[in-house]
Amino acid sequence: MEGILALIVVALLGSFCVRWAAGRMRLPIPARASVLIVLVLTILLFWGNSMN
């Protein structure tokens, strides 16, 4: 259960950082949902690889 909560917190923090950095660099800011999906999939991929 703690792993799922940590995943949610990291994904939200990462989404904020990506959107903030894009805004500071004057790039088009991606939608929050798309950033969250990519971050969650990436984190799950690394988590799955670490279980082997």
pTM, rounded to two decimals: 0.74
How many structural domains comprise the chain? Answer: 1
Could you read off the pLDDT of 1-41 as tens digits, one per residue?
Answer: 787 788 888 888 989 999 999 999 999 999 989 998 998 88
Domain hosting 34: range is: 2-50
Angle at which helices 32-50 and 2-24 cross, to 10°: 130
CB distance 7 to 40 below 8 Å: yes
Measure the CA–CA gap between 40 and 37, rounded to whole angstroms.
5
Q: Is 18 helix (H, G, I), strand (E, B) or coil?
A: helix
Cα–Cα nearest to 40, from 19, 9, 17, 18: 9
